[in-house]
Chains A and B, each alone.
Chain A
Amino acid sequence: DTAVSQTPKYLVTQMGNDKSIKCEQNLGHDTMYWYKQDSKKFLKIMFSYNNKELIINETVPNRFSPKSPDKAHLNLHINSLELGDSAVYFCASSRTPGTSGRFYNEQFFGPGTRLTVL
């Protein structure tokens, strides 16, 4: 059983298009995240949602908009795609930090979506 799943796995599109990446987790977690991994493998947090509310929004262009229809899903919409958006996007989930008796933040990652903008 897949814990954190993402679709699609690969996404190739033209500049200027609008696209979405879906993420679902079946772990019962109530916090979900989106990360971007650039061509040098550097991973950076983009967004964090807790119980469907945005709690972290790093410096990300407003062309990127996360949407959480429920606690198990966090989708990423990207408008007016640019060449620089090409990257691997990872979704992750965790229990609400602090609820496990210790303020740590073990996150479970999806397999990633490789986005290529032409």
Chain B
Amino acid sequence: AQSVTQLDSHVSVSEGTPVLLRCNYSSSYSPSLFWYVQHPNKGLQLLLKYTSAATLVKGINGFEAEFKKSETSFHLTKPSAHMSDAAEYFCVVSDRGNTPLVFGKGTRLSVIA
């Protein structure tokens, strides 16, 4: 069975500084991994996905994530935070296509001016 752990429930950064949101996963198979973002009172938007191609995945809005099998990690990064990045971020794992997505508990990102 798959699971995902988001190591920080809340991360606060200053505008213009780097963002790091940490995620570790557990999977019996080669997983597919995703990061979704949820802005306040909005739905979920896919930021990026890893599907066994390149281990460094680029997403929208300048976000990246690196799949590290040896560390079972899929941390989300961005070089420079913007105020509009303030939102809830979910790391998600799927073992295989016909199993449900399993969500982490989310990390709330605050960006300080």
Check if A63 is an interface residue, CB within 8 A of chain B: no
In the complex, how many angstroms separate the beta carbon of B30 from the nearest chain A beta carbon?
9
B16-24, B40-48, B54-62: which lies at the interface: B40-48
A11-19, A68-76, A77-85, A106-114: which lies at the interface: A106-114
In the complex, how many angstroms separate the beta carbon of B15 from the nearest chain A beta carbon?
24
B42 touching A58 by the CB < 8 A rule? Answer: no
A103 touching B96 by the CB < 8 A rule? Answer: yes
B100 touching A104 by the CB < 8 A rule? Answer: no
Q: Enumerate chain B residues within 8 angstroms of A112, measured Cβ to Cβ.
A: 42-43
B43 touching A103 by the CB < 8 A rule? Answer: no
Across chains A and B, which 10 residue pairs bring their CB atoms closest together, nearest first?
A97-B97, A104-B32, A103-B97, A98-B97, A45-B100, A109-B44, A111-B43, A43-B103, A103-B96, A105-B94
In the complex, how many angstroms separate the beta carbon of A9 from the nearest chain B beta carbon?
9
Check if B82 is an interface residue, CB within 8 A of chain A: no
Check if B78 is an interface residue, CB within 8 A of chain A: no
B51 touching A58 by the CB < 8 A rule? Answer: no
B51 touching A44 by the CB < 8 A rule? Answer: no
Q: Enumerate chain B residues within 8 angstroms of A33, measured Cβ to Cβ.
A: 100
Q: Contacts A109-B44, A111-B43, A112-B43 given; 8 further ones with Cβ under 8 A?
A: A33-B100, A58-B100, A92-B44, A98-B96, A102-B52, A105-B97, A109-B43, A109-B45
Q: List 27 A-B contacts (CB under 8 A).
A: A33-B100, A41-B38, A41-B88, A43-B44, A45-B101, A55-B98, A58-B100, A90-B43, A97-B96, A97-B97, A98-B98, A102-B51, A102-B52, A103-B96, A104-B49, A104-B51, A104-B94, A105-B97, A105-B99, A105-B101, A107-B46, A107-B101, A109-B45, A110-B43, A111-B43, A112-B42, A112-B43
